[in-house]
Amino acid sequence: MTEFTGVAKHMARYIFITGGVVSSLGKGLASAALGALLQARGYTVRLRKLDPYLNVDPGTMSPFEHGEVFVTDDGAETDLDLGHYERFTGVPARMTDSVSSGRIYSNVLEKERRGDYLGKTIQVVPHVTNEIKDFINIGDDEVDFMLCEIGGTVGDIEGLPFFEAIRQFSHDKPRGQCIFMHLTLLPYLAASGELKTKPTQHSVKELQSIGIAPDILVCRSEQPIPEKERSKIALFCNVRKEAVVAAYDLKSIYEAPLAYHRQGLDQAVLDAFGIAPAPKPDLRVWEDVNDRIHKTDGDVKIAIVGKYTQLEDAYKSIKEALVHGGMHNRVKVNVNWVDAEVFDNDDAAPYLEGYDAILVPGGFGERGTEGKIKAAQFAREHNIPYLGICLGMQMAVIEAARNVAGIKTAGSEEFDHEFGEKRFEPVVYHLKEWVQGNAKVTRKQDDDKGGTMRLGSYDAVLGDGSKVADIYGTTNIEERHRHRYEVDTTYRTKLEECGMTFSGMSPDGRLPEIVEWKDHPWFIGVQFHPELKSKPFDPHPLFKDFVRAAVENSRLV
């Protein structure tokens, strides 16, 4: 690798990614793809997300607000963009890779209450901005490049402290150690047949008005950008013409690294830092990924039975993990979203017939759970591959208890708590204590909701000879969790006598981690979230085998 010149080797170079014109332009995807391209050139990277909303973290948000909550190994509840970062770079995200305005202000107020500011008047500048800068600086000596994405769009009131902080940060660091990358939209007006550059000009002008001059512009466009428009953008936005990078719509997000490389994004970044000659990229991993996406030997149809099906981002990691499983098996996975509430009180068969496999994901609350229980029953009775994740595992256990073990009123303590009246025999109960590392964690039913679940990475021990041990190729695994309810082992003996095996347990043997039906071709429920660790170049074992089972089932029909 070419060594950096002029900057101490232990100091990271910073790339700040901002957005303008409209939201949802794909800053997270662009950041992740750029991280992958820098890795392909031999550099180490870490990606961070700075969100302007006042929630301390997304943990208590509805999935309809910001999509899924992505959980890290160390137990942080973060924005789904951190999932993109992990899937594209393979670098495990940490608690220090995500922060919100809520967390920043909370930290500042805690310090003020302790007297850390020595009686000073607390202000956005410098106290809030200093807190943001301290966060950005964490791990400065660990990687070659630190990519920091600022949520929202330039001009948002709540985002101003973050923009001011990164402006100050770039001046605090040695010259040439920070650059700014700005994503904008180039709308196409069909009536005139033109791409309009004015929204981009205004967005850059807004950014410049707060003291930040972008070094690179990434322009989302449905049409190729003519040289005339590219030159116009460069002239009026004060960037080099080579630093105006086109970002076109793609059939798959995993085309992004190669697409951005073809447009010269990674070269523009290295040029902005003055790194020359730059190491040549090794893109074989992404060429293989793209080959697997586009060259398939068939397809399978999988139903995701959930209650947030109107918003696919609510199950983002699950959908991507299925895609990864499909890539491994060289098949296209067609995902159909099935609203569990639709057959809460109806027969599930008309809604689930014709699928090669059924997946029931995690969730909270009683709404839609009767439909999920029926989905588990349909999969069990018709020998259809079934993967239950978190709540999906609990629904499979309740279904087994009701329809096989004869516990007709089986249910979850969660539903009775929500309803305010006892109606069920709780085969799933509120988890009051568990072991984390060498410490015991305790929780009460009336604790605050935020950050009080069993969160992050925990070990599990798999039973010898179990299907999951065969799938993983080991009896010791580590997976990420996000739940506050747990299957009660009091019912284990009765369920196992009926054929449901508790094939994965916590190391102390107290908490069920995995259940499976012995006499079923492929029926597995897991209390953790395997989708969070799946990557296109390293699919999760459960999703690889789940899709394989779906392929096998499709050939039996």
Q: Is 200 annotated as a binding residue?
A: yes
Residue whose C-alpha is closest to residue 292's, from 255, 317, 256: 255
What radius of gyration, in Å, describes the C-alpha atoms of the chain? 25
Q: What share of the chain is helix, strand, coil (3-state, %, to 5)?
A: 40, 25, 35
Residue whose C-alpha is closest to residue 149's, from 40, 25, 251, 61: 25
Q: What is the 3-state secondary structure (H, E, C) of 466-519?
A: CHHHHHHCCCEEEEEEEECEEECHHHHHHHHHCCEEEEEECCCCCCEEEEEECC
Please state, in angstroms and rounded to a whole number, the distance separating the CA atoms of residues 464 and 504.
Answer: 10
Q: Is 394 annotated as a binding residue?
A: yes
Q: Is 250 annotated as a binding residue?
A: yes
Q: Is 27 annotated as a binding residue?
A: yes
Q: Is 495 annotated as a binding residue?
A: no
Residue 182 near residue 204 (C-beta atoms within 8 A)? yes
> Residue 555, Cβ neighbours under 10 Å: how many?
10
347: which 2 tokens?
């027969």
Residue 441 near residue 431 (C-beta atoms within 8 A)? no
Q: Is 449 annotated as a binding residue?
A: no
Q: Is 29 annotated as a binding residue?
A: yes
Q: Which residues of 80-91 are buried (b: 16+ CB within 10 A; e: fewer)?
A: bbbbbbbbbbeb
Q: Is 65 annotated as a binding residue?
A: no
Q: Is 26 annotated as a binding residue?
A: yes
Give the three-state DSSP class for 306: strand
In terms of DSSP bridges, do strands 178-185 and 45-51 run parallel, antiparallel, or are they unpaired? unpaired
CA distances from 466 to 462, 469, 503 (A): 7, 5, 6
Q: Is 201 annotated as a binding residue?
A: yes
Q: Is 138 annotated as a binding residue?
A: no
Q: Is 316 annotated as a binding residue?
A: no
Q: Is 265 annotated as a binding residue?
A: no
Q: Is 47 annotated as a binding residue?
A: no
**Which residues are within 8 A (CB) of 419 and not within 5 positions of it... i.e. 6 or more apart?**
366
Q: Is 474 annotated as a binding residue?
A: no
390 is catalytic: yes
Q: Is 158 annotated as a binding residue?
A: yes
Catalytic option among 164, 261, 531, 540: 531
Q: Is 371 annotated as a binding residue?
A: no
**Which residues are within 8 A (CB) of 192 and not within 5 positions of it... i.e. 6 or more apart?**
none
**Which residues are within 8 A (CB) of 137 and not within 5 positions of it... i.e. 6 or more apart?**
169
Please state, in angstroms and rounded to a whole number, the distance separating the CA atoms of residues 255 and 33.
Answer: 9
Catalytic option among 84, 481, 529, 540: 529
Catalytic option among 84, 178, 390, 513: 390
Q: Is 198 annotated as a binding residue?
A: yes
Q: Is 387 annotated as a binding residue?
A: no
Q: Is 437 annotated as a binding residue?
A: no
In the annotated binding site for L-glutamine, the residues are 363, 391-394, 414, 484
In the annotated binding site for UTP, the residues are 23, 196-201, 232
In the annotated binding site, the residues are 23-29, 81, 149, 156-158, 196-201, 232, 250, 363, 391-394, 414, 484
In the annotated binding site for ATP, the residues are 24-29, 81, 250
Catalytic positions: 390, 529, 531
In the annotated binding site for Mg(2+), the residues are 81, 149
In the annotated binding site for CTP, the residues are 23, 156-158, 196-201, 232
